[in-house]
Amino acid sequence: MLKTMALLASLIATPVVAQDKAFALQIPDALIQTGFIKHLLPRFSLKTGIRITPTANAGDAAFGAQGTPVFRQGDVLWHLAKTDGPHTDAFEAWLLSDIGKRTIEAFAPNGAAMFSADINVKAKVQVAVITGDAVLGEKVGLQKCGRCHVVNHSNRMKAIGSTPSFALMRTFPDWQQRFETFFILKPHPAFTQVADVTEPFGSSLPSPIAPIEVTLDEIDAITAYVATIPPADLGAPIQSQ
């Protein structure tokens, strides 16, 4: 009797094992929309016999901002985060292999490759972005912007209440761009001088407000400092942070 059951169990187990060559991969909608996944996954499955089930929920692996960098879409570096296992391991290895890279770059819905397998380029750019000196940025920000903006708690009472605080502006999706170009955004051109960038104020048009002078390095530093400020909590949409 026991023997029969063992035999039965082994018979049942076999097809289950075969089916097991599969895993679930969480994929953000933005990536699905590109059509890239329909190009990528079947080619991997064809090579390895491992089936991948895309899911919007947590799976055995995920494309996103965490894990191993695997491909780049413009400025966005996509990563693969995964649990350990032969199939997820095989997928990561394949994405980083020559054949995987060629597959990634072969996706060109409009004639031009949409994804790059060169994952190092973005890493360099990121380093450049965060090299601004945040400590200097806090100091310069308080000195030169703090007259109007609440930079942090230390000048909370000295700024102009109607002017947006740095923490509030940090919630804008494009906050970085705005800080990098603040001197061309109103009201700043009327009173801001950036060394080697802006024209001197005309002598006949004295600035009505005490001018501020900043260098490009100081703007980088301020931007690096702002990156460290937690976005202001505006209520429901970002409460979870």
The yes or no reply on residue 185 touching ligand HEC (CB under 6 A) is yes
Token code pair at residue 181: 């170009």
Token code pair at residue 125: 């750019």
Which member of 187, 211, 213, 216 binds ligand HEC (CB under 6 A)? Answer: 187
Instruction: Decide whether 116 or 152 has the Cβ nearer to ligand HEC.
Output: 152
Dihedral Cα 202, 203, 204, 209, nearest 10 deg:
80
Site string for ligand HEC, 4-43 (x = CB under 6 A): ----------------------------------------
The yes or no reply on residue 170 touching ligand HEC (CB under 6 A) is no
Amino acid at residue number 83:
T
Asked if 131 contacts 220 with a C-beta cutoff of 8 angstroms, the reply is yes
The yes or no reply on residue 169 touching ligand HEC (CB under 6 A) is yes
The burial class, CB within 10 Å (0-12 / 13-18 / 19+), for 37 is: middle
d(CA 94, CA 80): 12
| Contact range with ligand HEC by CB under 6 A, out of 50-58, 65-73, 97-105, 207-215 | 207-215
Which member of 23, 71, 78, 179 binds ligand HEC (CB under 6 A)? Answer: 179
Which member of 52, 77, 142, 148 binds ligand HEC (CB under 6 A)? Answer: 148
The burial class, CB within 10 Å (0-12 / 13-18 / 19+), for 105 is: middle
Token code pair at residue 99: 């054949």
| Contact range with ligand HEC by CB under 6 A, out of 3-11, 77-85, 100-108, 145-153 | 145-153
CA-based nearest residue to 210, from 125, 144, 141: 144
Amino acid at residue number 114:
M
Instruction: Decide whether 18 or 184 has the Cβ nearer to ligand HEC.
Output: 184
The yes or no reply on residue 164 touching ligand HEC (CB under 6 A) is yes
Judged by the rule CB under 6 A, the positions of this chain that interact with ligand HEC are 144-145, 147-149, 163-164, 169, 178-179, 182, 185-188, 191, 209, 212, 214, 222
